[in-house]
Amino acid sequence: MNIKRIFGSILTVLGIVGLIYAAVLFVNTSSGTREIKILAIYGTLGLLFFITGISLVRTTKDES
């Protein structure tokens, strides 16, 4: 397995975890006390990691 593909898989998993954590924070906070900054940071980083990881896995050719 290629190093880029492994790194892409790790980034994808980190992105999924970040997006799930942002969703859990969004659901568990009351509407008056939502921390918009924290939600935006975790959501943005999760989305960035997820998209980067998926593109790394897709564009890396598997050489045997």
What is the pLDDT tens value at each position of the chain, 64 positions in all? 688 888 999 999 999 999 999 999 888 887 666 688 888 899 999 999 999 999 998 888 777 5
R_g (Cα) of the chain, nearest Å: 15
Say what the pLDDT of residue 34 is.
67
Write phi, then psi, for 60 (nearest 5 degrees). -80, 125
Residue 14: the pLDDT is 95
CA distance 63 to 40: 38
**Coil vs helix vs strand at 63:** coil
* Single-letter residue type at 63: E
Residue in the structure block whose two tokens are 């050719």: 61
Question: Hey, where are the domains in the chain?
Answer: 3-57
What count of residues does the chain have? 64
